């Protein structure tokens, strides 16, 4: 329903611009998806109206600029379920000096606007009022042939924004298309220059690729085009071993969760801390350093690092004491850990006994048994007359372990266990 309302609103934006005397077309990815028979995630409109004219038509209260100097105005729908539509003025870009943004822009026509875009399949326009496709770059033909091709000179397109190298790979893998030869050669030629792109933008592309079901295809392209060692130099010692490389591809092919954090953990699986490192501070684990370098969020870093450190924790799950098993299965990352456990077995061509045992255990164990409220807290110990000290955590752990092992069930039993009234 929301999808239909979003499309309806995108149509109304075109109608209002045309009614005001301007040309307006759906542009870019939404046209590509529409022609492929897929529901667009977002709708973008391109127009010959300049930003101030767009704001006058829709009202300043319903619009805001996300790149007014580049001709981009966001128009808000009449309700949250209608979403929002980016309206961009047709433009030509000058040369870029930072490998990302043009030094200046000049408002232009639809044909000229198409020439500045990255890929032919993203350079299409569609008039929803006349049901007419405007194709100035051969994108429709490339869609039919299932080809990813840069518009015009591929080297020039990549130099305008180096992130386009990753975008080419993402669209190639996402749609399972063929990467056109000259476009691929341009990526190989400019691969080292990906370093000028901000880590935030690189990580955003990687999130999308690693969450996609065709992540193995994407990783193979990143590797074959010379980008992987530049993007992730920390993987170099492992990636040089063919066994690690081929196993990683198998992990990605077998991965069933659409979860980029788990995919990152698989890439970093050889960075698990040693026992000596675990006994010392782990604030600077190798996995954490990797995540911080890529500018991942604290939540993403915590998840990836936890999965790397606990990747084999469910090995011989049926033999684990309950006070070890239950916290693992009640963790907020339990779903990813279970999938990782299944993958370890699958890639090694072993039975998935640990994974299956955990699934059965979860089915048979109520939540209040899996992760019960603690029988005693630090406040309880203080109220019993004990002074806070190092032994607090030892006593509370002793009680918690006994509780999870289902040896005690009441607070009185917990008090008796550690000898307090």
Could you tell me the CATH number of the domain that includes residue 88?
A: 3.30.460.10
What pTM does this model have?
A: 0.88
Residue ending a domain, among 112, 145, 178, is: 145
For residue 50, the enclosing domain spans: 1-145
How many Å apart are CA 309 and CA 314, to the nearest integer?
12
Q: How many domains does the chain have?
A: 2
Contact 230, 194 (CB under 8 A): yes
In a domain, 64, yes or no: yes
Is residue 105 situated within a structural domain? yes
**What pLDDT is attached to residue 107?**
84
Q: Is residue 282 part of a domain?
A: no
Which sign, positive or negative, has the C-alpha torsion 274, 276, 278, 282?
negative
46 in a structural domain: yes
d(CA 75, CA 49): 14
Tens of pLDDT along the chain (421 residues)?
577 899 999 999 999 999 999 999 999 999 999 999 999 989 999 999 999 999 999 999 999 998 766 789 999 999 989 999 999 999 986 555 545 555 556 888 999 999 999 999 999 999 999 999 999 999 999 999 999 999 999 999 999 999 999 999 999 999 999 999 999 999 999 999 999 999 999 999 999 999 999 999 999 999 999 999 999 999 999 999 999 999 999 999 999 999 999 999 999 999 987 655 554 455 568 999 999 999 999 999 999 999 999 999 999 999 999 999 999 999 999 999 999 999 999 999 999 999 999 999 999 999 999 999 999 999 999 988 888 888 889 999 999 999 999 999 999 999 999 988 7
Q: Note the pLDDT of residue 103.
A: 56
Domain assignment of residue 95, yes or no:
yes
Q: Which of these three, 145, 172, 205, is where a domain ends?
A: 145
SS3 415: helix
What CA dihedral angle connects 221, 227, 232 and 238, to 10 degrees?
60
Tell which of 122, 145, 168 closes a domain: 145
| pLDDT value of position 209 | 97
């Amino acid at each position: 329903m929301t999808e239909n309302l979003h499309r309806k609103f995108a149509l109304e934006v075109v109608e209002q611009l045309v009614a005001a005397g301007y040309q307006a077309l759906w542009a870019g990815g939404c046209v590509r998806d529409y022609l492929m028979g897929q529901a667009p995630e977002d709708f973008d409109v391109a127009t010959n109206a300049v930003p101030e004219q767009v704001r006058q038509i829709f009202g300043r209260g319903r619009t805001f600029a996300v790149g007014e100097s580049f001709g981009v105005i966001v128009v808000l729908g009449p309700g949250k379920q209608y979403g929002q539509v980016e309206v961009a003025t047709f433009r030509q870009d000058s040369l870029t000096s930072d490998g990302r943004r043009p030094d200046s822009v000049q408002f232009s026509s639809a044909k000229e606007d198409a020439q500045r875009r990255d890929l032919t399949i993203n350079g299409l326009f569609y008039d929803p009022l006349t049901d007419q496709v405007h194709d100035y770059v051969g994108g429709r033909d490339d869609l039919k042939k299932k080809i990813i091709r840069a518009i015009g000179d591929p080297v020039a397109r990549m130099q305008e924004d180096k992130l386009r190298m990753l975008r080419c790979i993402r669209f190639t893998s996402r749609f399972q298309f063929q990467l056109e030869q000259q476009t691929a050669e341009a990526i190989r030629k400019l691969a080292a220059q990906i370093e000028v792109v901000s880590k935030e933008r690189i990580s955003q592309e990687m999130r999308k690729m690693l969450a996609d079901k065709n992540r193995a295809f994407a990783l193979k392209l990143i590797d074959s085009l010379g980008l992987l060692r530049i993007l992730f130099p920390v993987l170099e010692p492992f990636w040089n071993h063919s066994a690690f490389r081929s196993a990683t591809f198998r992990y990605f092919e077998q991965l069933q969760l659409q979860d980029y954090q788990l995919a990152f953990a698989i890439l970093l699986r050889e960075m698990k801390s040693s026992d000596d490192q675990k006994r010392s501070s782990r604030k600077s684990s190798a996995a954490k350093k990797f995540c911080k370098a890529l500018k991942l969020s604290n939540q993403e870093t915590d998840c990836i690092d936890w999965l790397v450190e606990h990747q084999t924790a469910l090995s011989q799950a049926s033999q684990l004491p309950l006070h070890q098993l239950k916290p693992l299965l009640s963790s907020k990352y339990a779903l990813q850990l279970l999938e990782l456990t299944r993958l370890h077995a699958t890639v090694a061509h072993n039975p998935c006994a640990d994974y299956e045992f955990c699934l059965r255990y979860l089915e048979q164990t109520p939540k209040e048994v899996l992760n019960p409220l603690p029988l005693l807290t630090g406040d309880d110990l203080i109220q019993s007359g004990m002074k806070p000290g190092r032994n607090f955590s030892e006593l509370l752990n002793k009680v918690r372990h006994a509780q999870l092992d289902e040896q005690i069930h009441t607070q009185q039993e917990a008090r008796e266990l550690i000898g307090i009234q």
